[in-house]
Amino acid sequence: MIPIIKFIHCADLHLDSPFQGLTTKEPALADRFKHATNEAFVKIIDLCLAEKVDFLTIGGDTFDGADRSLCAQILLRDQFERLHKAKIPAIIVAGNHDPLSDWLTEIRFPNNVHLLAGDKVEKVPIKKDGKVITTIYGISYKVRDVKENLSLEFHASEEDTVSIGLLHANVGARKEYAPYSPCTISDLRAGNMDLWLLGHIHTPEVICEDPFILYPGNIQGRHINEDGPRGCYFIKVDSNYKTSYEFKPVQNILWKQEEVNIKKITTSLELVDLLSDKCEDELSNLTRDEKGIVIRWKLTGSSSLYHELTMTDKIEETKEILIERFFSQAPFIFPESIRLLIKPDKKTEDFVNQENFIGDFLRLAGQVKDDEQMKNELLEMLNQPLSSRTIKKYLDEIDEKELLAILEGSVDLGMDLLSGNK
């Protein structure tokens, strides 16, 4: 069925993102990311032109902060000029990283760009062949910390052909994100919009289909917890007002996490060969537009290499070998880290009933798991207030789940050492 509307929605571009963690830890890798976010946005404009969309929407956080480079501003202007020549409007709301107070700039955007106001919900009718095909409602953040529920100010008109709400918001009080413009799905439904196009949450997700509500996520992962494809949504509404959508990845560099069972690996050389083969496989699966992969491997399984890998520098050596082999390639692969989740190749039950120190150790550790008082005492010790405010802001409080993981790791290490596995 021929669509009456087709458009691209993206958000959380974070142009000029500094990749601060990488700059400190992996400066060579940070250099590879220098233009990755900007180039991902160019891909979105390419897609708009290729699909001949009716409009582009951006759901906030176009820039990463107030200190934006001239290069990023010119890039944005030039890409909007490409849309302008194709008569494609761009409708933008400002978010917490780029509130209207930070949009003062000497760069003038073409008149196809609509940066929506922050005083009230603004309406932008989109026309095609002289007819209004949709009306976009949106409101920008005037300042960074917007804690009121802006969704309550949205009210679609009964005369709208298709009504679209554009908002930067935290729907459902997601704890991992700041509570900017917090709201619920019920709040969004109350506005009677046909579609809600959101920003702020960095993971792509369609959270509801009645009404249609989605987050496109950010356009380029910036750290290991933003793994997987990143991009935008290509959305169509047909003549029966049915909405269809397709996620379009545009990232230049892919972050990835993968578990690797090394139960059958018996030497460090075999481990290097195994991970090298996996590097080759990962690179062969890249699209021609992707420049590389940053990967975190999590080694799992009961392993005869437990003692060697936990008590020596073999893991760091392995990482350095892989970097030397694959980081200079184009496209490249970079092992962000190799995490050990392995266990000794021996069973706790073989030692727990022994009348010796290792048996006493294992029985005591087992008691902690079922003793609420002991768990609370350990949590209290581990979560003691730190005198250094600088250090404290980088540490999260340990909960019971994390405590049990620490205990399990301690049991594995203790059993390995006490059983004489050298």
CB 247 within 8 A of CB 233: yes
pLDDT grade, residue 393 (50/70/90)? very low
CA 415 to chain centre: 37
Residue 146 has pLDDT above 70, yes or no: yes
Residue 394 has pLDDT above 50, yes or no: no
CB 298 within 8 A of CB 259: yes
pLDDT tens for 82-117 read 999 999 999 999 999 999 988 877 678 999 999 999
Lowest-pLDDT range of 88-92, 128-132, 183-187, 342-346: 342-346
pLDDT of the residue at 388: 52
Output the CATH code of domain 3-249: 3.60.21.10
pLDDT tens for 41-62 read 999 999 999 999 999 999 999 9
Residue 175 has pLDDT above 60, yes or no: yes
Which residue, 312, 275, 311, 277, is CA-closest to 296?
275
Backbone angles phi, psi at 336, to 5 degrees: -60, -40
pLDDT tens for 23-34 read 778 888 988 998
Q: Judge if the upstream peptide bond of residue 211 is cis by omega within 30 degrees of 0.
A: yes
CB 91 within 8 A of CB 109: no
